[in-house]
Amino acid sequence: MDYVALPKIELHAHLTGSISRKALHEVWLRKKKNGETDLEDPLVIMPEGKHDYNLETTYIYGLLTDEESVRYTATSVLTDFLNDGVCYLELRTTPRGTPLLTAEAYVSVLLSTIATFELENPQLHTRLILSVDRRHTPTMAASTLALALAHSHEGVVGLDLCGDPTAKPGGAVAAFTPVFLEAKKKGLGITVHFAEAEASGSKEELDVLLGWQPDRLGHVIWEDEASKEEIARRELCLELCLSCNVQAGMVRGGFEGHHFGAWKDIQGPKISLGTDDVGVFGSPLSNEYRLVAEHFGFDREAICGLARQGIEGIFGGEIEKDRLQSIMWE
Ligand SMILES: CNc1ncnc2c1ncn2[C@@H]1O[C@H](COP(=O)(O)O)[C@@H](O)[C@H]1O
């Protein structure tokens, strides 16, 4: 089966972690030539096979400080997803200011990059999700929400909770409850990194997160039985990232042992495969489908059915769902 040609939906991709080494290297070369950076070559800092999204994020943030490099790398990310056969993409990013760009300008640059790209490549529709980082203060989270709402007519469709799973343990993410409840009330889609590590899998935390009435959950690794039943009852959409989890050692037992295997047989939830940080883990979405076929024995029909499960989970609205229903393989 041609997994690249298979029309696919990507709902769990962090922008910064999705940038290829090559695109980062190109930005670095230009800046080095112009005397604009003292940073080491990204190909040296992040050799193939090294996976540490925290370290990499710090480096990449230091490199991509101006409009041109944000635009260039975002375009390269969109191009990579398009060339991999993605027809609908929800990219997520944490709004950030740099000495040269405010957080507001960063979001505007991304939205205009997406709009320009879509004019030239109408087969890929892209929407933006803004991320609240667990390390943020409630005030920072509130300004992320304000940005999301200010740009909700230009393609921002949701709010995410991501970042270091050890930050705000034991239910302390409740500090963000007013922000996420407000986001929900205002009609934004809600997705959260859910029980991605033991540290973020406490009953207190899972109760808080489920209390936000999220539409989608990312990773879903360390949840307890009660949450599992609740997820099934609510028929939530699960964003499962096989290569990321296996390569980063977040799960045991390799691909065969991945919890995709358990969730696929549970009635109710919809599964959407995601790459998480394809620039870091190096496995494009087409390969995630290939891995499912290889390790879980999915035939062509089952793979097409799986790819279509994501349609109901998108935050992009009913017209977009209809488009996906008509173009995705049966
Ligand atoms: C298991 N994988 C993961 N779990 C949790 N958070 C992750 C992540 N991979 C990336 N991020 C989050 O994405 C930010 C960088 O991209 P943006 O600046 O937002 O585009 C990181 O700071 C981290 O908070």
Average pLDDT per block of 10 residues along the chain, 330 residues long = 98 97 97 96 86 86 97 98 99 97 98 98 98 98 98 98 97 98 98 98 98 98 98 98 96 97 97 96 97 98 98 98 98
ipTM over 0.90: yes
Q: Is 125 in the pocket of ligand 1 (CB under 6 A)?
A: no
Distance (Å, rounded) from C-alpha 53 to C-alpha 49? 12
pLDDT at 53: 77
Tell me the backbone φ, ψ of residue 59, rounded to 5 degrees.
-65, -50
Which regions of 112-182 does DSSP assign to beta strands (E)?
125-133, 156-162
The residue nearest atom 13 of ligand 1, judged by CA position, is 14
Taking the whole predicted model, whether its pTM rises above 0.95 is answered as: yes
- How far apart, in Å, are the Cα atoms of 147 and each of 3, 91, 177, 236? 36, 16, 17, 26
Distance (Å, rounded) from C-alpha 32 to C-alpha 43? 14
Distance (Å) from CA 162 to ligand 1 centroid: 6
- Tokens 């999220």 correspond to 214
Closest CA to 8 of 323, 330, 310: 310
Q: How many residues does the chain have?
A: 330
| Structure token pair of residue 157 | 């469709």
Q: Is 127 in the pocket of ligand 1 (CB under 6 A)?
A: no
Distance (Å, rounded) from C-alpha 116 to C-alpha 260? 36
pLDDT at 47: 84
Q: Is 10 in the pocket of ligand 1 (CB under 6 A)?
A: no
Instruction: Return all residues near 78 (Cβ < 8 A) that are at least 6 apart.
Output: 89, 113, 114, 117, 121, 124, 126
Q: List, in order of start, the domains of the chain with CATH numbers.
A: 8-18+84-327 (3.20.20.140)
